[in-house]
Structure 1
Amino acid sequence: MTVANQARDSLVLPTAEISTSPSSGPVLVQVPVWLWVDDGTWRPVSAQASVPGGSVSVTAAPRTARWSMGDGTTVTCDGPGVPFDLGRDDPAGESPECGHTYRRASVGASQGVYAVRLAVTWTVTWESSEGGGGELDPLVTSTAAELEVVESQGLVESTG
């Protein structure tokens, strides 16, 4: 098990980038925000450690994405989410896998933005060249971004 932990400690896990739709400009209150992680970072990663007479292979696989949205809400997704595609998806529609709808503007938040944090939990398994194997403690990677959330104001003019 010590060799498996050494291999686990040598894993270099990618840091997921936070992707949202809309991707630029402010987010509107009451409009669904799509959340996803790039497929390039949502993939298994392996490492090996050798000992006299054998080796241990360790693989970490992303399992869940936990989004802390900055407004007190947490969204947990069992996968990377679905990237928004303007040609396919309705900008006012909800994500089929991972999303959030803000109910309040970020005006009162720190610096006028919500601090969004993403934590990806990785399950870690090991396998010995001699046939043993099992599961190790999970790993977690995290990253953060800021989202400005605003309210859209309507203006009614009298023509009379």
Structure 2
Amino acid sequence: MAQEAVTKMRLLGADVGIAPKPGGTGTVGVPVWVWNGPSPQTTGPTSASATALGVTVTATATVQDVVWNFGNGTIVSCPFPGTPYSPSFGLTPPSKAGGQCGIAGYSRVGEYTVAATTTWAVHWVGGGQQGDLTTTRSSQAAVRIGELQVVGQ
């Protein structure tokens, strides 16, 4: 029944926020910021119950962590949920801005898939018993990185 309660919660992977914006183009060497957009299904906590034969089990899920794979061999676990990029951050890398989430920049031009794996910790109670389980959800976003070229006269 705990699994049925988890299913009812409709847990999702991160609602990936990323700078540069999807559909835009970032620049080689410029920081890339990522964060998880808040909602009960992406950041929790959230709860649901399931009942069978007069026994009700209630499960509560909270995000344990989000691991980000930047598609270039860099994988990081960041403070949750992360802070959306603000123009006031300028070219400050996320690691220098209060330990926020992202990377200092890509070193090569290309299209990268940024994948987020969210680990949910679920505690359930019911029928005189309780327990814990873990489940994961994944999501992704694409980012395009270009090169800035200056042509002099």
Q: TM-score range by the shorter chain?
A: 0.7 to 0.9
Match of 1:150 in 2: 146
Q: Aligned residue for 1:84? A: 85
Show structure 2 runs of 5+ residues with no match: none
Q: Deviations over 1:93-115 (max 9, x none)?
A: 122311112342233xxxxx111
How far does residue 15 in structure 1 lie from its aligned partner after superposition?
4.0
Post-superposition Cα deviations, 1:48-79, rounded to whole Å, max 9, x if no partner, equal: 11234431101111121111111111121241
Q: Residue 63 of structure 1: SS of its match in structure 2?
A: strand
2:19 to 18, 21, 28: 21
Counterpart amino acid of residue 134 in structure 1: G
SS in 1 for 2:9: coil
Give the TM-score normalised by structure 2. 0.83
Q: Which has the larger radius of gyration?
A: 1
Partner SS state of residue 118, structure 2: strand
Matches within 5 A, 1:1-160: 3-23=1-21, 25-40=24-39, 41-86=42-87, 89-95=88-94, 96=98, 97-107=100-110, 113-128=111-126, 130=128, 132-136=129-133, 138-157=134-153
Is the partner of 1:134 in helix, strand or coil? strand
Percent of residue pairs identical: 30
The two structures have a TM-score, normalised by structure 1, of: 0.80
The one-letter amino acid of 1:104's match is S
Segments of 5+ residues of structure 1 without an aligned counterpart are 108-112
SS at match of 2:89: coil
RMSD, aligned CA: 2.0
The 4+ residue runs of structure 1 with deviation greater than 3 A are: 51-54
